[in-house]
Amino acid sequence: MVPFKILVLVCLAYVIFLFLVAFVVENRARQGRARWLRAPIVYTLSLSIYCTAWTFYGAVGYAARSGLEFLTIYLGPTLVFVGWWWVLRKLVRIGKAQRVTSIADLISSRYGKSNLLGVIVTLLAVAGTTPYIALQLQSISLSFAVFAAETRPGWALPGRDATALWVAGGLVIFTILFGTRNLDANEQHHGIVTAIAVEAVVKLVALLAVGIFVVWVLADGPRGVFDLIEATDVAEWRLQPGRWAGLTFLSAAAILCLPRMFQVMVVENADERHLATASWAFPLYLALMSLFVVPIAVVGLLTMPEGSNPDLFVLTLPLSAGRGDLAMLAFLGGFSSATSMVIVAAIALATMVSNHIVVPLWLRMARVAGEVAPAAGYAGDVRRLVLRARRASIAGVLALGYAYFHFTGGSSALAAIGLIAFVGVAQALPALIGGIFWRGASRNGAAVGLCLGFGIWIYALFLPSFGPDGVIPADVMINGPFGIGWLRPQALFGSEGMDPLLHALFWSLLLNSGAFCLVSIFSFPTPLERLQGAQFVNVFDRAGGTRGWAHGVAEAEDLLVMAQRILGGDAAQGFFHAEAAAQGKAGFLPDTTPEFIEALERRLSASVGAATAHAMVGQIVGGSMISVEDLMAVANETAQIMEYSSRLEAKSEELIRTARQLREANEKLTKLSVQKDAFLSQISHELRTPMTSIRAFSEILRDGADLPLADRHKYAGIIQEEAIRLTRLLDDLLDLSVLENGQVTLHSTSANLHDLIDSALRSAGATAAGRDFAILRDPASEHVGLTTDTDRLTQVFINLVSNARKYCDAAHPELRIRVTERGADVEVDFIDNGSGIGKENQALIFEKFARLTDQTRAGGAGLGLAICREVMSKLGGTIAYLPGQGGAAFRVRLPRRRILPRGGSVAPGAHGAGQGPVAAQG
Amino acid sequence: MPWGEGMPEKGKQVLLIEDEPHIVEAIRFILTRDGWGVEAHADGADAIEVIQRLAPDVLILDVMLPGRSGYEILQDLRADAATARLPVLMLTARGQDRDRDLAQRYGVSRFMTKPFSNLDVLTSVRELSGG
């Protein structure tokens, strides 16, 4: 008789003990002092989470109800571990090579990192595991109830639901504490694995103890037990071959596909060699666990009162024999079985849910909301998010399990719930096995197969498990939906009379695998899928270091696919064709001989660099992993290629710039050439015109002996005048050339502006008596002291006065001279009262030969204003046309004090040039 | 060679379109002494009207004229049936080949560059009026 109080205390103590074990081991592992933990025996014991409360309690009930059939749930795993250990080895090897974190991750990764598949497998796992967790909660609350029944009245026993709730809450805390302490890259949890190993020992010891007690105390030793067995029909060989085969297959599939089994077997595996130990030790563990199942069932059936729950014989037999301590040990064994399963399952499911559902969703929402943090804070942010997602998922998974337990009322037999869950998770089998053994398996095939199998499982097994009229109406169960007979959930396609479990297993897996194969065959995998597929299927090739050429054609095809992406379709096909021809083969697929691989690598390295090419070819041919060194080399190469291309870019920019400069220079030269032609043409005209008069009149004089004297004088005068005009033109040209070439020498002298204007007017003949040309001045304003090249300045004034005198077309021409001081500058305006210069010509007048009218006789060669502009620029001033003054108006502006740079050479003819016709007349 | 051989018939008229007064004076002297009637005009802008009004036997045309170029005037003359066959002696100080080609294309009768020989001008005018 065990008081309930003590039971609870023992439970708490046991849990605290597990806490301590997990805590100590976790710390030691972090300090790197936990080598002994990585022993094969710990690995083997951790595999025992296969044996849940269902095995611990339910196997006895199973045997009591169905005889030896319970053996099938041990038979499947044993067959896998003994006969199929190489499948497990492949799974473990792939898990390590690909850093797989869960079965969903493995399948998603195998099929081109498809998150769709990850989500499907995750949902499948959640749906398949939820009943199983409910099963554990149910077993714990049932076992509590056993003790409660034995308790004195007056004890406040919590209801069954409440027990389950308390247990679920405690498990959430434990799992979160040890399952999400850190985000390890390998997702390994040393503390938890060790705690589970301890629990494995506890449940084995408990079951063996109960068995020994039953056999040697209750039943007088083995011989007595055999007699009892003979007396009942438990051991009668009621063999149903279909059911046996189906259930064996089912449990074999489960050991591969159950998320928690995958977690301990693949993810938590520390060393591949541990599998070798496990391949015999785990079946041995299973054998020990099943050793006393039949004796306990038989003794229970014979000695316990009619109507007792055979699922609880493990507890009730010692209790009824008054052995409370043994019952307590059995209780702890069952408690261990249940908790270890729930903890590992919750961790495995949480990893899947957070990696495949929560985090992708959060990232997408964050991207939509534009909240994605800058890269620096991003990693830490995601880390926190992932941890939080894990914790929430753990709580969510257990909440689901509790909800299932609550709503199904915990009525079904333990074994039935377990088998339903097995069929659910077994749906991942085709995608899993196909994925690691068949290169042709494609993402679409896996997706369609999984969905079909999942759907049929839900429709034909999971929903009906809630009982008649539970979820599916009884009418549908009997007559099919809408009265369609062949769609009846438990008689699909007219398969009447099958066991519902086998029925669902058969149809779901048949359609699942069928669809998987067919769609895989008829759909074309993406390059990433092909690469991943090769890595998974050929996982052992790379380790041996030998290059197996067994998959020659497939490899050549993959290489061609890859080469096409890099070289382009035509180039790649051409290369493969040529190589095949060189090997004496037709078509595009040469044998993947080392020579060919080398040639391909060389060819690819021209495009992507040697390291990249090697890594890519190695990925397909050698199945080799890309090492960090490879990646560094690839990055190096990429950097070099980028640098080279940026150099090229710079070069081509430079070329473009040079070309533009050349073009501009050429345009300038062309323009200059046109200008030169125009200038020469002008010079020719300006020289030939006076020469024409000179020649014509000199011929007249030569030939005309009879000419009157007056005419002779007149013509000789014209000849002289034109000769002077010629000389002046040449002087102007030389002057301008000197000014333009900057060879002019300037002489700074100081003078009064008034005197300079006087001098200019005198030189221009504007003051000569009898001239009808009025000069208007304001002498007071003109007394401004200037320091500049006064000779040159006077030359400019003379030009302007002469121009006014020549071109002013007023009846009474007058010229106004206005002087204004502006700061350090002085302005001298020359304004006449003629018709002025049209707007369109104002910009032209300072150009060479910009003679606007026909009055050539009145002026020079049209170089005057051009010379003025050059002079003023040399003096640090300007000359400009002043529009809107009534007549032609020019403004000269210059600094009052100007220390002029002295040029080197004295230009010939620099002085006395351009001084107008008056100089000639003088 | 002195001029005076083969005097033209009395009353033959030469129109001279030229803006350089000294050149006008020289040509007028040369042709008048040979018995030609000489009219001169210095502006290009209204040259066509003057030509049509005076209807000369020979036209002497400068290229660089104020208002309008000699080439333009020549084109107009050749386009008009009344003056299409008028003998035109073109004088220019821009004596490049390009200018000569341009004048030929526009239908000049004879092309001379400045400075010219007085006898050449006289001979040309005589030949043009005779042809």
- Cβ contacts of B48 within 8 Å, gap of 6 or more: B73, B76, B77
Residue % of chain A over a pLDDT of 90: 7
Mean pLDDT of A157-176: 72
Chain B residue nearest residue A679, CA to CA: B94
**Inter-chain contact B26–A685, Cβ cutoff 8 Å?**
no
What one-letter code names the amino acid at A596? Answer: F
**Inter-chain contact A696–B115, Cβ cutoff 8 Å?**
yes
Mean pLDDT of A890-900: 84
Q: Is the pLDDT of residue A429 over 60?
A: yes
pLDDT in tens, A175-191: 787 677 665 545 567 77
Q: In this predicted structure, what is the pLDDT of residue A185?
A: 44
Overall domain count for chain B: 1
- Cβ contacts of B67 within 8 Å, gap of 6 or more: A854, B43, B44, B45, B46, B47
Distance of CA A417 to the CA centre of its chain: 44
pLDDT in tens, B85-117: 899 999 988 767 788 888 889 989 999 988 999
Highest mean pLDDT among A555-559, A859-863, A915-919, B49-53 belongs to B49-53
Mean pLDDT of A575-588: 82
DSSP per-residue letters across A694-715: HHHHHHHHHH-TT--HHHHHHH
CA distance B38 to B27: 9
CA distance B112 to B129: 16
**Inter-chain contact B115–A691, Cβ cutoff 8 Å?**
yes
Q: Compute how many other C-beta atoms are within 10 angstroms of the C-beta atom of residue A835.
A: 13
What one-letter code names the amino acid at B82? Answer: A
Q: What's the CATH number where B107 sits?
A: 3.40.50.2300
Phi-psi region of A593 (alpha: psi -120 to 50; beta: other; left: phi over 0): beta
Q: In this predicted structure, what is the pLDDT of residue A239?
A: 66
CB nearest B93 (choices: A685, A695, A696): A685
Q: In this predicted structure, what is the pLDDT of residue A527?
A: 66
pLDDT in tens, A221-264: 777 777 777 777 666 656 677 778 888 888 888 888 888 888 88
Q: In this predicted structure, what is the pLDDT of residue A915?
A: 38
Domain hosting B89: range is: 14-53+64-130
Which residue, A542, A568, A639, is CA-closest to A93?
A542
**Inter-chain contact B64–A700, Cβ cutoff 8 Å?**
no
A905 pLDDT band (50/70/90 cuts)? very low
Please tell me the least confidently modeled range out of A322-331, A367-376, A781-790, A801-810: A367-376
With residue B111 as reference, give the H or E element that holds it: strand B110-113
Higher pLDDT, A486 or A192: A192
CA distance B85 to A634: 88
Phi, psi of B11 (to 5 degrees): 85, 0
Mean pLDDT of A387-413: 77
A922 pLDDT band (50/70/90 cuts)? very low
Q: Is residue B4 part of a domain?
A: no
Chain A residue nearest residue B44, CA to CA: A854
Please tell me the least confidently modeled range out of A366-375, A468-477, A864-873: A366-375
Q: Is residue B19 part of a domain?
A: yes
A691 pLDDT band (50/70/90 cuts)? very high
Q: Is the pLDDT of residue A709 over 80?
A: yes
CA distance A140 to A168: 10
Q: Are A164 and A339 in contact (CB under 8 A)?
A: no
Q: Is the pLDDT of residue A380 over 70?
A: no
Strand segments, DSSP code E, in A745-869 are 749-752, 774-776, 785-788, 814-822, 825-832
SS3 A2: coil
Q: Are B106 and B79 in contact (CB under 8 A)?
A: no
Q: How far is CA B128 from CA A479, A700, B103, B110, B125, in A?
A: 127, 22, 16, 8, 5
CA distance A753 to A6: 127
A residues 706-765 near B, CB within 8 Å? 718, 721-722
Mean pLDDT of A503-522: 85
Q: Is the pLDDT of residue A545 over 70?
A: no
CA distance A881 to A844: 10
Q: Compute how many other C-beta atoms are within 10 angstroms of the C-beta atom of residue A587.
A: 10
Mean pLDDT of A354-381: 61
| Degrees, nearest 5: CA angle A235-A241-A244 | 70
Q: Is the pLDDT of residue B131 over 70?
A: no
Q: In this predicted structure, what is the pLDDT of residue A692?
A: 93
Q: In this predicted structure, what is the pLDDT of residue B59?
A: 94
Q: Are A879 and A890 in contact (CB under 8 A)?
A: yes
CA distance A296 to A902: 128
CB nearest B94 (choices: A684, A691, A854): A684
What one-letter code names the amino acid at A389? Answer: A
pLDDT in tens, A21-65: 888 887 777 776 656 666 788 888 888 888 887 778 878 887 877
Q: In this predicted structure, what is the pLDDT of residue A194?
A: 84
Q: Are A99 and A185 in contact (CB under 8 A)?
A: yes
Q: In this predicted structure, what is the pLDDT of residue A664?
A: 92
Residue A695 sits at the chain B interface (C-beta within 8 Å): yes
DSSP per-residue letters across A77-127: HHHHHHH-HHHHHHHHHHHHHTT--SHHHHHHHHTTS-HHHHHHHHHHHHH
Q: Is the pLDDT of residue A919 over 60?
A: no
Q: Is residue B5 part of a domain?
A: no
Q: What is the four-CA torsion angle of A577, A582, A583, A589, rounded to 10 degrees?
A: -10
CA distance A492 to A501: 12
What is the DSSP-derived secondary structure letter of residue A322? T
Q: How far is CA A94 from CA A16, A78, A133, A443, A854, in A?
A: 36, 22, 28, 18, 102
Q: Is the pLDDT of residue A622 over 80?
A: no
A153 pLDDT band (50/70/90 cuts)? very low
| Degrees, nearest 5: CA angle A890-A894-A900 | 135
Chain A residue nearest residue B3, CA to CA: A703
A846 pLDDT band (50/70/90 cuts)? confident
Q: Which two tokens stand for residue A581?
A: 């021809």
Q: Is residue B59 part of a domain?
A: no
Q: What is the largest CA-CA distance in chain A?
A: 180
Its ipTM equals: 0.90
With residue A399 as reference, give the H or E element that holds it: helix A375-408
Q: Are A552 and A596 in contact (CB under 8 A)?
A: no
**Inter-chain contact B2–A689, Cβ cutoff 8 Å?**
no
- Chain B contacts to A (CB-CB under 8 A): 2-3, 19-23, 25-27, 29-30, 42-43, 64-67, 93-96, 113-119
B28 pLDDT band (50/70/90 cuts)? very high
Q: Is residue B29 part of a domain?
A: yes
Q: Is the pLDDT of residue A904 over 70?
A: no
Residue A853 sits at the chain B interface (C-beta within 8 Å): yes
Q: Are A832 and A889 in contact (CB under 8 A)?
A: yes
pLDDT in tens, A396-407: 888 888 888 777
CB nearest B96 (choices: A681, A700, A854): A681
Q: In this predicted structure, what is the pLDDT of residue A696?
A: 93
Q: In this predicted structure, what is the pLDDT of residue A415?
A: 57
Q: Is residue B122 part of a domain?
A: yes
Kindly report the average pLDDT of chain A as a whole number: 77
| Cα radius of gyration (chain A) | 54
Chain A residue nearest residue B30, CA to CA: A700
A167 pLDDT band (50/70/90 cuts)? confident
Q: In this predicted structure, what is the pLDDT of residue A714?
A: 92
**Inter-chain contact A696–B66, Cβ cutoff 8 Å?**
no
With residue A641 as reference, give the H or E element that holds it: helix A628-703
Q: In this predicted structure, what is the pLDDT of residue A610?
A: 66
Q: Is residue B24 part of a domain?
A: yes
pLDDT in tens, A731-749: 888 888 888 887 778 888 8
**Inter-chain contact A854–B67, Cβ cutoff 8 Å?**
yes
Q: Are A168 and A341 in contact (CB under 8 A)?
A: no
Q: Is the pLDDT of residue A858 over 80?
A: no
Pairing of strands B37-41, A825-832: unpaired
Distance of CA A107 to the CA centre of its chain: 22
What is the DSSP-derived secondary structure letter of residue A214? I
Highest mean pLDDT among A169-173, A472-476, A871-875 belongs to A871-875
Q: In this predicted structure, what is the pLDDT of residue A914?
A: 40
pLDDT in tens, A91-142: 888 887 777 778 888 888 788 777 788 888 888 888 888 888 888 888 887 7
Mean pLDDT of A451-457: 87
CA distance A524 to A512: 19
Q: Is the pLDDT of residue A583 over 60?
A: yes
CA distance A252 to A423: 11
Which residue, A360, A517, A381, is CA-closest to A449?
A517
Neighboring chain B residues of A689 at a CB cutoff of 8 Å? 20, 23, 93, 114
Higher pLDDT, A414 or A104: A104
Q: Is the pLDDT of residue B125 over 90?
A: yes
Residue with tokens 């004496």, as numbered in its chain? A584
The alpha carbon of residue A859 is apart from the nearest alpha carbon of chain B, in Å, by 12
Please tell me the least confidently modeled range out of A16-30, A445-459, A502-516: A16-30
CA distance A901 to A116: 85
HSE at residue A546, side-chain half, CA atoms within 13 A, is 5
With residue A246 as reference, give the H or E element that holds it: helix A241-257
What is the DSSP-derived secondary structure letter of residue A881? E
Q: In this predicted structure, what is the pLDDT of residue B108?
A: 92
CA distance A518 to A445: 7
How many Cβ contacts (< 8 angstroms) between chains A and B? 72
Q: Are A116 and A357 in contact (CB under 8 A)?
A: no
CA distance A578 to A588: 8
